[in-house]
């Protein structure tokens, strides 16, 4: 069933688990993700990031996301991940997405607030929820060597939430997008401070490669949504590589290898995020 972003995250916040948000780039990804969620009776978020549009066009993926969400036996939210402009968020809403993320985190604080406020005003008028980002969630190989305090500020987070009217906030705890070369150590103390100050749905980006210990600490201290993308891509690549080494490999069966790999990764993460049985 298709449910709202606010509804799916509110339950996670109240019952101290995290909803897995999976970047799905193909029909096979979506099939595997929904199968996993239904098997474990877990809510789930299907999402697509703007940087993924060149190989998974938004207008093509939206009907697939929505069809599987509406027919699913578990709660499903359809979400735009890392929208880079007001216009992209508007297009996702026009296509039926029931939540959007506007990522203007690289802008100065006041400019970030201003753009997020504009998107919130537009989205809420259409009964669509909004996620934003505050702090520096980097990209492997780009910002991991940056100096200074890259973490989201506690008082800054409270001001941002109050001024924008946003429905969820992605924060920076030392997490990054991509495939970690070493297991990161997240700043759980900062998370606890932000959570205590706001008691508000918080989001962790860059989930792939995070330790089980840090995942659990995040879930038990206010993180309600965890994004997973790279882990799915790595598992699919590994399983397809092994499959095509066999002379009997064929295209149709390879599609189901992708479905199976997607389902495996999603099941593992839904279990880790403690969302089993919360549908």
pLDDT (tens place) for every residue of the chain, 279 residues total: 999 999 999 999 999 999 999 999 999 999 999 999 999 999 999 999 999 999 999 999 999 999 999 999 999 999 999 999 999 999 999 999 999 999 999 999 999 999 999 999 999 999 999 999 998 764 444 444 344 467 999 999 999 999 999 999 999 998 765 444 445 679 999 999 999 999 999 999 976 678 899 999 999 999 999 999 999 999 999 999 999 999 999 999 999 999 999 999 999 999 999 999 999
* 3 state SS of 83: strand
Separation between Cα atoms, residue 185 and residue 101, nearest integer Å: 25
In this predicted structure, what is the pLDDT of residue 177? Answer: 53
| Helix axis angle, 109-125 to 154-164, nearest 10° | 40
| Cβ contact 108:155 at 8 Å | no
Q: Which two tokens stand for residue 253?
A: 């069966």
Active site residues: 81
Q: Which two tokens stand for residue 270?
A: 């839904």
* 3 state SS of 125: helix
| Cβ contact 267:235 at 8 Å | no
pTM value is 0.92
Buried b (16+ CB within 10 A) or exposed e, 202-226: bbbbbbbbbeeebbebbbbbbbbbb
Separation between Cα atoms, residue 278 and residue 75, nearest integer Å: 9
Separation between Cα atoms, residue 102 and residue 160, nearest integer Å: 14
Q: Which two tokens stand for residue 74?
A: 């578990």
Domains of the chain (ranges plus CATH)? 5-272 (3.20.20.70)
Length of the chain, in residues: 279
In this predicted structure, what is the pLDDT of residue 208? Answer: 67
Separation between Cα atoms, residue 59 and residue 137, nearest integer Å: 27
Beta bridge mates, 47: 23, 79
**Nearest to 56, CA basis, from 29, 21, 90:** 29
């Amino acid at each position: 069933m298709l449910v709202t972003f606010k509804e799916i995250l509110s339950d996670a916040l109240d019952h101290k688990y995290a909803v897995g948000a999976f970047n799905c780039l193909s029909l096979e990804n979506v099939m595997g993700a929904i199968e996993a969620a239904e098997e474990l009776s877990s809510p789930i978020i299907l999402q697509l990031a703007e940087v993924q549009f060149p190989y998974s066009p938004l207008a093509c993926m939206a009907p697939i996301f929505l069809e599987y969400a509406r027919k699913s036996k578990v709660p499903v939210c359809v979400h735009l991940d890392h929208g880079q402009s007001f216009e992209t968020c508007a297009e996702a809403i026009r296509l039926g997405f029931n939540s959007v993320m506007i990522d203007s985190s690289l802008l100065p604080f006041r400019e970030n607030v201003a753009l997020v406020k504009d998107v919130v005003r537009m989205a809420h008028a259409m009964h669509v929820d909004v996620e934003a980002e505050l702090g520096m969630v980097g990209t492997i190989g780009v910002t991991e060597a940056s100096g200074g305090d890259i973490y989201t500020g506690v008082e800054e987070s409270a001001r941002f939430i109050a001024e924008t009217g946003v429905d969820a906030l992605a924060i920076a705890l030392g997490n990054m997008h991509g495939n970690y070369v070493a297991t990161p150590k997240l700043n759980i103390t900062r998370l606890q401070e932000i959570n205590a100050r706001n008691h508000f749905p918080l989001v962790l980006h860059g989930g792939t490669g995070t330790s089980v210990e840090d995942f659990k600490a995040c879930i038990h201290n206010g993180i309600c949504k965890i994004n997973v993308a790279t882990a799915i891509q790595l598992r699919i690549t590994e399983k397809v590589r092994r499959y095509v080494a066999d002379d009997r490999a064929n295209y149709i069966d390879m599609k189901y290898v992708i479905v199976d790999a997607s389902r495996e990764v999603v099941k593992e993460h839904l279990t880790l995020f403690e969302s089993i049985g919360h549908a």
